Amino acid sequence: MTSNTKRTVLVTGGCGFIGSNLVPHLVEQGNQVKVYDNLSRGRAEWVAASRAEVIQGDILDASALGRALEGVDAVVHLAAYGSVVESVQAPLPNFDNNVRGTFNVLDAARQARVRKVVFASTGGALIGNATPPVSEQSLPKPISPYGASKLCGEAYCNAFGLAYGMQTVALRFANVYGPISAHKKGAITVFIKALMTGTPITIYGDGSASRDFLYVEDLCRGIGLALKTELAPGTVMHLAAANEVTVKDLAKSIARVAGKPDHPIEYFDKRPGEVDRNFARYDLAKSLIGFEPRWSFEDGIKATWEWFQELGDAALQIGTSDS
């Protein structure tokens, strides 16, 4: 069942990559949007045009969260440490932000009587090495602290949903890409910057590792559909493209779009904690909320490259992060 009621939505981490694409989408749908972000990685200027209210605060600050949630109908919880590699190097900060932070969001929402919480989870890192395509029926076996932290978040969403009657929804994101991502650490950003600077593209492993890449506009539409659809507490869904792309093919595709098909690629040892192969089915999301990707991989890569070109040298000056 779909509800067309206008609502007040709080987006944690709303000044990051996904948030800065999502916030205008939610505003356009008629929602009143509040952004809660500590601005350590995101920038308020990235959502300024949407005229959403920006509250500077940290998800580890339960009191500030409680104040921000006053009058809120729904929460989209994006704030997290999203780097697999960083989580292996320093697991404690990842735990604090992703597990304790998610608990704080859920508990503050419970106390504020927020009806719905949509949690940003992950597919590949949570499930680990499994024969793709994966689905909601796949057994989670995370191989990185990051994946484990998202599995903990899903467990708390399920528990809060059933114990307190909250409509909690965990959306397992594929690898998301698109505009406003110059600060990201993901492969697409790194490869594009290598092409812009004329340096070799760096691949860890032999390039056969695969991912499922979802254009950010499709993801935002999926989040919007999950927000306005009545769902059972603890619902878990994959938002994916169901399209397996190897890292080597990804690099070649971006180089081709950039007009540099012969750009050099250098290979280094595989990094620990990273999944070998992954792509996911989105059948359940299609059935429950009507989600289906509209952007092809090729069109999404082209649009992302064009955004970087419009930004020009300024894109190279933006530091990398995982928000």
CB atoms within 10 A of CB 271: 13
Angle of the 216-228 helix axis to the 17-28 helix axis, nearest 10? 50
C-alpha–C-alpha distance, residues 230 and 169, integer Å: 10
Selected catalytic residue, list 36, 81, 146, 282 = 146
In whole angstroms, give the CA distance from residue 255 to residue 209.
18
Active site residue 146: yes
Task: Supply the DSSP string of 229-284, one letter for each residue.
Answer: B---TTEEEEE----EEEHHHHHHHHHHHTT-TT--EEEEPPPTT--SS--B--HH
Q: Are strands 244-246 and 210-215 parallel, antiparallel or unpaired?
A: antiparallel
Q: Which distant-in-sequence residues (6+ apart) come within 8 Å of 203 by Cβ?
A: 247, 248, 251, 265, 266, 267, 268
Q: Which residues of 69-91 are buried (b: 16+ CB within 10 A; e: fewer)?
A: beebbbbbbbbbbbbbbbbbeeb
Residues annotated as catalytic are 146
